[in-house]
Structure 1
Amino acid sequence: MAAPSHNTSKLSQVQALVDILKADLQDHDLPPEKRVATLEELKVFGRDADQSGPIFTKEGIEMLCKHAFEGTDNESALEAMRCLANALLIVPETRQIFVELEYAEKAVNRYQNNSPDEEFLVGRILFLVTYATPDIPKWLEEYKLAKYLNDAITEHGEIYSKINKNKQPSAMQDMAFTETTKLLFNLAHLAPEKVHLFSRSIPNLFKILCRRTLPSLPLQSPIAHLINALLNLDLSSQTGCVFPSFDPTCNVAGLVRVLDLSVESPNEKRNDQRNQLFDEAGVPLITLLRKLFEISSDQAKEYMRKRLLPSDEQRKNPLGKGDSLASRLLQLSASAAALNIRQHLALLLFEVSNSNPEEFVRNVGYGYASGLLLSAGVQLPQSALEGLSTSPDNSGRLFNPVTGQALDCEPEIKDPFSGMSDEEKEREAERLFVLFERLKRTGVVDIQNPVEKALHEGRFEELD
């Protein structure tokens, strides 16, 4: 690639490159390698809008579109698409120019080429242009974009077939898949009446989610965009593939696995980055789990309860003290580091408790339930608290309604006077009397000495 000259201004150099590429559209006299080098140089200048105006004019965008979608040289076309994608990102006004030039259909057709490089670039271009066009239904049906997206996602799903067991995608394939799922999310969001056109992609999206190797921080590209894409699809119309007969829990388990890897105890300083990422990107995941629970089979619902709610074993201690997923969710729900996600966690745990306030308190303890319900705006009726400490759960055990700990596992409270002689008890009472009198004389608090009160009420016994 030729280095930019420092003897002329950036603006004049950009104009000269645009003029060369415009002339080439008529004369076709640039060798392919020279055309690619010229477009590469223009791409470098176009990363900063300052003094790069000729790129972002109608003539500049049209020139790039012609090289990208009407040229015969594939390498030049790819480089022109890179320039175009940068322009659409940096200067949003160019998106409307692209729409007016009517290059959307030609861009959509490039999805058929089964090339990760083209899928990445065309996916990004169309994603950016969705914000400037009312023609999305036309794109989906007349231009067949829905079909091409479904086909592309099917190709990505084939990477994870049983024949290719343990095979993982290349970096370029992952980048292409990310742009396709981002585009799918926008299309389904902006044209919800056409969302049924993407039903064919639901099983492949779940296959990819469940079979790919997850990174240590999974709520990043491409998993985060895959979850976003699923969130906008009509899962209720595809319950047969969402909860397959061979294993109704497999897809729910895949999402819970992402959740498990995304949440750590907020008490550990080393986990700040993980929980911060979860607080920022975890809402779609929690919302998708809620959406799935609503349409789940009984088997899938039971699986979610077992994974997300404290078990009987965990009730040997106050809830939220262990390292299980349920404990970490409770810890995070009460953490100041989870301001964005707390309300969504509350609703998930409440709905997994069959949206029953009393059952919810039984599951997580009133200490957590009160705060979670308050943050979610759910009123906890008084009837939900009555009799909780004396009414056994399904296993017949009584539990502390505040901490959720089984009463038979609570530590025995020892009598502080146990083992003392009568003389020692009398000296301890005198010591407490003196301490309370000193506190009373400070005037800081208005307090009645409990020893004095006991004397007045006749609760002290005279000793010989």
Structure 2
Amino acid sequence: MNEDEINIVSGDNYTEVALTLENFLKTNNNVFTFPFLLENNRRVSLWAALFQHLQSKSSESIHVLCLTTIRLLSRDKSELENLICEKWIITLIEKAGLFNFVDPDDTMDVDMPLKEVVVEAMKCLCNIAFNSEVARALCAHTSIAQGLVARLRSYKEIPFKDDIMLYDMKLLFILTALRQDIKVKIKDELHGMDYLISCLNELVLEASEPQCDVAGSREVIEEAHYCFLQDNQLAIVCEILKTQFNLTLQSAENVSEAEESMYLKLMPALTALLYAQTSTQESLMELHSNIANLLTSVPPVFYQYLTPELNDGETALCIYDGRNMDALHALLQLLQYRLSLTTNTKNQYENLSPVLTVLNKSARGCRVQRKYLRLIVLPPLRDVSRPPEQGHTLRNQLCRLLTTPVTSVRDLVAEFLFILCKEKVGRMVKYTGFGNAAGHLAQKGLLGGARGPVCYSSSSEDSDTEEYLQAQPGIDPVVGCTRPPRANPFEGMSDEQKEFEAMKLVNLLDKMMTEGVVRPARVGPDGRPVPVDHVLEMRDHPPNRPQS
């Protein structure tokens, strides 16, 4: 846009202004930077002209075009911090219908602007809030938080709520992620979590209307097993879940009564969403990923509500011990999906950490969930001819991660498998091989074969199959599988040749020790490796063997 065009936009001939803006929008629809506006202060002049029109009632006919142009311009971060002022932010808030509520309990008794104006203004606020810290700070000094929360309660009164709900949630996510003061205000003062949970319930009920009685209770969703989220509903749900993650993310372990009540409302909604279906597998995994992210900040005591007991006449796809395990099975499917996407260590932590954290908390916090997870992840062994890390089962894939260089993922996987084994060293070695488990056992001081904290039931869950019992004598515990008979390398050698080869080995080991390549160790009294000065010390203190 040249200076002549900017002069036209600054004028009051709205027909010419509209034509100029339409041409600009058509040309730059997919453009994200506007370097030509850096010359002769064009950017400031254009922004000022656009907001001047937005503040004038006489130019209402071009308000949508002005807002759309601002939306495109706000993609470019150049000089954005210097451009934004409080007056312009308030103008956008007013055009978005986020009125200045004095009391957040007031109802929306002010007429909403036109749908197109509200939608474009919300898009502008999302872009500007995301790209500008100054804009976020200005938002913190306005009543935008009250307006957003008030609208959460008032969607039924808005005829075009489906068009603006997504952008409301996007703006809430941006502000709660990047402004601590707004986050605290929405969570503590305005009780935003309660209204967000209500929105989730409403969305699931809307998606379930053909299959369930909508007149039923809206607090605890029932019969939501058959809900199908349309793409627009799914996008809104994901933004809500991301915002709820921001609001619940905290380090405090103690849960207040208000938080306990909030979690008791949240868990049935998350469980219902784990039952839901979407148009594609990718979108379903996106939904489950956002749920898993949120669950990482939920105390494990509330995980029991993921697997409710089945009442008379109720059924489910996955049932264990009289409980509906569909939600937990959905999390296992998410883990399997994430494992299939993780072909290298580059994004291993981002892909696997949330769902592994959730499964760890589930297995440790709820006995019946641990038993179900063990049934799926570590079923009774049958074929032990291959090492545990070879194959395509969930157990095989997790065993491969026990030796990943990404230590945070390795520790999460090892802890998960260790919990499923009831923290028994022998059982862990049985399913993973001692070589794969050694690092984790060393960290916990269990190399000597001791058992971890006794916090599990005494009833045995280990039922060895006939195939495993037959192969057990030939299993090498280091690799976790059977090995074919090996030829004796000393066969045909004289005693002198054997002694010569032994001395070569001793000299090589001595050289590696001298140069610091390796350092021998033995298992100390605390179950952790203890360096030794000479290999003969290992003969005086033989290692304890793990007991099953």
State the TM bucket, normalised to the shorter chain.
Answer: 0.7 to 0.9
Task: For 1:97, give the aligned amino acid.
Answer: L
Task: For 1:187, give the aligned amino acid.
Answer: L
- 1:146 and 2:178 are equivalent in the alignment: no
- 1:369 and 2:437 are equivalent in the alignment: yes
- 1:97 and 2:138 are equivalent in the alignment: yes
| SS class of match (1:184) | helix
Residue 78 of structure 2 is aligned with which of 50, 54, 57? 50
Residue 123 of structure 1 is aligned with which of 130, 144, 169? 169
Task: For 1:289, give the aligned amino acid.
Answer: L
The 1:125–1:213 alpha-carbon spacing in structure 2 relative to 1, beyond 3 Å, is closer
- TM-score, normalised on structure 1? 0.76
The 1:218–1:327 alpha-carbon spacing in structure 2 relative to 1, beyond 3 Å, is farther
**1:454 aligned partner:** none
CA distance in 1, matches of 2:419, 2:306: 23
The 1:306–1:218 alpha-carbon spacing in structure 2 relative to 1, beyond 3 Å, is farther
* Alpha-carbon contact 1:219-1:258 (below 8 Å) kept: no
CA distance in 1, matches of 2:351, 2:184: 29
Q: Which consecutive residues of structure 1, in runs of 5 or more, have no partner in the other structure?
A: 265-269, 386-392, 418-424, 448-464
- How far 1:310 moved relative to its partner? 5.7
Residue 116 of structure 2 is aligned with which of 46, 52, 75? 75
Residue 88 of structure 1 is aligned with which of 123, 129, 140? 129
- 1:195 and 2:259 are equivalent in the alignment: yes
Task: For 1:380, give the aligned amino acid.
Answer: L
**2:272 aligned partner:** 207
**2:91 aligned partner:** 63
**2:378 aligned partner:** 309
- 1:186 and 2:246 are equivalent in the alignment: yes
Q: Which consecutive residues of structure 2, in runs of 5 or more, have no partner in the other structure?
A: 1-20, 25-35, 100-111, 212-224, 452-461, 512-548
**2:328 aligned partner:** 252
Residue 479 of structure 2 is aligned with which of 385, 398, 403? 403
- 1:347 and 2:367 are equivalent in the alignment: no
The 1:184–1:155 alpha-carbon spacing in structure 2 relative to 1, beyond 3 Å, is same
% identity of equivalent residues: 21
- How far 1:220 moved relative to its partner? 6.3
CA distance in 2, matches of 1:277, 1:75: 39
- How far 1:147 moved relative to its partner? 2.9
* Alpha-carbon contact 1:21-1:35 (below 8 Å) kept: yes
**1:382 aligned partner:** 448
Task: For 1:14, give the aligned amino acid.
Answer: W
**1:156 aligned partner:** 203
The 1:367–1:384 alpha-carbon spacing in structure 2 relative to 1, beyond 3 Å, is farther
| SS class of match (1:2) | helix
Deviates more, 1:107-116 or 1:348-357: 107-116
**1:420 aligned partner:** none
CA distance in 2, matches of 1:339, 1:227: 21
- How far 1:169 moved relative to its partner? 2.9
Task: For 1:412, give the aligned amino acid.
Answer: P
Task: For 1:404, give the aligned amino acid.
Answer: G
- How far 1:339 moved relative to its partner? 4.4
* Alpha-carbon contact 2:229-2:276 (below 8 Å) kept: no
Residue 18 of structure 1 is aligned with which of 45, 48, 51? 51
- How far 1:289 moved relative to its partner? 0.7
- TM-score, normalised on structure 2? 0.65
Task: For 2:70, give the aligned amino acid.
Answer: L
| SS class of match (2:335) | helix
Residue 35 of structure 1 is aligned with which of 56, 63, 81? 63
**1:325 aligned partner:** 394
Task: For 1:31, give the aligned amino acid.
Answer: E
* Alpha-carbon contact 1:236-1:295 (below 8 Å) kept: yes
CA distance in 2, matches of 1:351, 1:124: 38
Aligned pairs for 1:204-283 (under 5 A) are: 204-213=269-278, 221-234=286-299, 236-237=301-302, 239-245=304-310, 247=319, 248=323, 249-264=325-340, 272=343, 276-283=346-353
**2:537 aligned partner:** none
**2:526 aligned partner:** none
Aligned pairs for 1:276-295 (under 5 A) are: 276-295=346-365
CA distance in 1, matches of 2:445, 2:271: 36
Superimposed CA distance per residue, residues 403-453 of structure 1 (whole angstroms, 9 cap, x where no aligned partner) = 222xxx542335579xxxxxxx8xx648x959x79x98xx99999xxxxxx
Task: For 1:188, give the aligned amino acid.
Answer: T
The 1:58–1:137 alpha-carbon spacing in structure 2 relative to 1, beyond 3 Å, is closer
* Alpha-carbon contact 2:267-2:302 (below 8 Å) kept: no
The 1:280–1:373 alpha-carbon spacing in structure 2 relative to 1, beyond 3 Å, is farther
| SS class of match (1:104) | helix
Number of matched residues? 410
* Alpha-carbon contact 2:228-2:276 (below 8 Å) kept: no
- How far 1:20 moved relative to its partner? 1.6
The 1:106–1:10 alpha-carbon spacing in structure 2 relative to 1, beyond 3 Å, is same
| SS class of match (1:272) | coil
Task: For 1:259, give the aligned amino acid.
Answer: L
* Alpha-carbon contact 1:54-1:60 (below 8 Å) kept: no
The 1:380–1:225 alpha-carbon spacing in structure 2 relative to 1, beyond 3 Å, is same
- 1:109 and 2:150 are equivalent in the alignment: yes
CA distance in 1, matches of 2:286, 2:352: 13
CA distance in 1, matches of 2:201, 2:432: 41
| SS class of match (2:384) | helix
- How far 1:166 moved relative to its partner? 7.0
* Alpha-carbon contact 1:333-1:345 (below 8 Å) kept: yes
The 1:361–1:214 alpha-carbon spacing in structure 2 relative to 1, beyond 3 Å, is farther
The 1:135–1:59 alpha-carbon spacing in structure 2 relative to 1, beyond 3 Å, is closer
The 1:271–1:99 alpha-carbon spacing in structure 2 relative to 1, beyond 3 Å, is closer
- How far 1:3 moved relative to its partner? 3.6
CA distance in 2, matches of 1:445, 1:181: 57
Task: For 1:280, give the aligned amino acid.
Answer: E
CA distance in 2, matches of 1:38, 1:181: 32
Deviates more, 1:314-323 or 1:185-194: 185-194
